[in-house]
Amino acid sequence: MLENLKNNYKESMKRYDGVKNEQLLEANSSMLFNKLIWVIDDVCRATTYKKGTIYNLVSSGSIPYRKRRGKLFFIPSEILAWIQGANS
């Protein structure tokens, strides 16, 4: 089974032969920053933090967020401002 997964991964990577990794990352980043609202996976992608870390930051009130019907939402501009504030 593990070999099948490895082979499937190798095959899928062959499909991207003509595209550089940097171009893929740029395209993904572009799509991420075009969103008006982020969910936790988007915040993880933007910050490189794991979900548990984001949940801890939410719990302590250290990161800006919204919560509706039990689901967390984030405003990209607020997250970027938070990141810049954390770095200064």
Per-residue pLDDT, averaged over 63-78, amounts to: 95
Which pLDDT does position 36 carry in this prediction?
A: 87
- Determine the Cα–Cα distance for residues 42 and 12; give it in Å rounded to an integer: 23
Reduced to 3 states (helix: H, G, I; strand: E, B; else coil), residue 38 is strand
Which pLDDT does position 16 carry in this prediction?
A: 52
H-helix or E-strand containing 10?
helix 2-14
18 to each of 9, 22, 23, 27, 31, how far by Cα in Å? 17, 12, 10, 15, 20
The per-residue pLDDT for range 17-66, each reduced to its tens digit, is: 555 555 545 555 567 767 889 999 999 988 999 999 999 999 999 999 99
